[in-house]
Amino acid sequence: MLYILVSLFTSFIICLFIIRLNIAHDTYHGPQKFHKNPTPRIGGLAIYLAFLITGLLFLLEGKPFSKDFLMFVISGIPVFISGIAEDITKRISPRWRLIASFISGFLFFIFFNASINRVDIPLLDAIFGLYIFSVVFTVFAIAGVSHAFNIIDGFNGLAAGVAILIYCAYAYVSFLHNDYFLLYLSMTAIASTLGFFLWNYPFGQIFLGDGGAYFLGFTAASIGVLLISKYPDVSPWFVLMLVLYPVWETVFSIYRKRFLRGMSPSLPDSVHFHMLIYRRITKNLVGRDLNSLERNYYTTPFLWVMELLCFVPAVLFWKNTYILILFALGFIVIYTWLYFRIVKFKTPKILRIR
């Protein structure tokens, strides 16, 4: 528990210093910009350094899993550095950040020799059993989830809150398996993210930034891969269910931008699901007289509920593939139906009554 408190305290204090130094400000321009004062966007630096310092403490104390812990931190360097570089310079293209996430995914595979080699569906398992396919899919999945967390990082506390819920589920299953490495890795992820979260929500005194969002997504994907690889009783759909909200948001956004709006999927727009909630649901339910910051942090809990729709069945049925498949399909249907209802100004009545 002491190490977890160190991780929390380290992240919290580093965020405080960044805020006081007031460096690496976020731009005021863009479809998802709500702040009116200079706000640092390198909160991910505090999270990553908290991971690193905790790992070094494990090494000094001779913990049996300390080398694995540090290898995990090292494997996240490319995706983290590419994101931080974008936060500071605003000149790193999405393509290079995506390449960096592939490199991190490949490093993770090299260090741990862990991959998604099954989906617990007989016909598909024959394909996932192929070594090359399993490795390529794993690297792609880690890169995809890393990018997905950057997509949902639009409101104070949103990406960090979703990540904390995911890490809590991982900690629970790791505890059930007496896996101290994965348990401490998950708990460190919770604590370091929470240290940032306390400054970010509700008033947004520091932002996660691309470095933080990518690293949180990388961590969520990689711990999931380790659980699937190490424990046959853990359904792969348990991991997919936990990351389904950011992943489906990303997949749906690519479809929407490319085929419905005829624009590049890499370009930002203001019609993401969380933006619709901000513009049409929060204003209606909470009040039209709110300023943009107040509407920002009132919007986030609505989106935490979306993650809870995935979190609850994942934790309850982490062994049961077919039940989780049904819940995953149900979430996709609910998300898509709700999106089109809101965008066509046909919001369900329950979301229109104050």
Please tell me the least confidently modeled range out of 33-37, 116-120, 319-323.
Answer: 33-37
pLDDT of residue 206: 95
User: What is the distance between the alpha carbons of residues 140 and 72, in angstroms, rounded to a whole number?
Assistant: 17
Considering the entire predicted model, what is its pTM? 0.95
- pLDDT tens, residue by residue, 242-254: 999 999 999 999 9
Residues 6+ apart with CB under 8 A from 194: 8, 11, 164
| Secondary structure (3-state) at 77 | helix
Structure-token match 């005021």, residue found = 28
- pLDDT tens, residue by residue, 125-156: 999 999 999 999 999 999 999 999 999 998 99
pLDDT of residue 78: 97
Residue 260: band (very low, low, confident or very high) from pLDDT cuts 50, 70, 90: confident
Question: Is pLDDT of 31 > 60?
Answer: no
Q: If we measure between CA atoms, which residue out of 260, 262, 252 comes closest to residue 306? A: 252
- Residue 150 · residue 158 · CB < 8 Å: no
- pLDDT tens, residue by residue, 285-328: 776 677 778 888 889 999 999 999 999 999 999 999 999 999 99
pLDDT of residue 133: 96
Q: What is the CA radius of gyration of the chain?
A: 20
- Residue 84 · residue 44 · CB < 8 Å: yes
- pLDDT tens, residue by residue, 70-83: 999 999 999 999 99
Give me the domain span that covers residue 301. 2-351
pLDDT > 90 in the chain, percent: 75
Mean pLDDT of 217-224: 98
pLDDT > 70 in the chain, percent: 95
Residue 352: band (very low, low, confident or very high) from pLDDT cuts 50, 70, 90: low
Report in angstroms the alpha-carbon separations of 166 from 2, 37, 58, 192, 329: 22, 31, 23, 14, 19
The two tokens of residue 42 are 């390198």
- Residue 288 · residue 205 · CB < 8 Å: no
Number of H helices, E strands in the chain: 15, 0
User: What is the distance between the alpha carbons of residues 135 and 114, in angstroms, rounded to a whole number?
Assistant: 8
Residue 266: band (very low, low, confident or very high) from pLDDT cuts 50, 70, 90: confident
Q: Is 223 exposed, middle or buried (0-12, 13-18, 19+ CB in 10 A)?
A: buried
pLDDT of residue 34: 55
Number of domains into which the chain is organized = 1
Exposure string of 152-187, with b = 16+ CB inside 10 Å and e = fewer, is: bbbbbbbbbbbbbbbbbbbbebbeeeebebbbbbbb
Residue 23: band (very low, low, confident or very high) from pLDDT cuts 50, 70, 90: confident
Residue 22: band (very low, low, confident or very high) from pLDDT cuts 50, 70, 90: confident
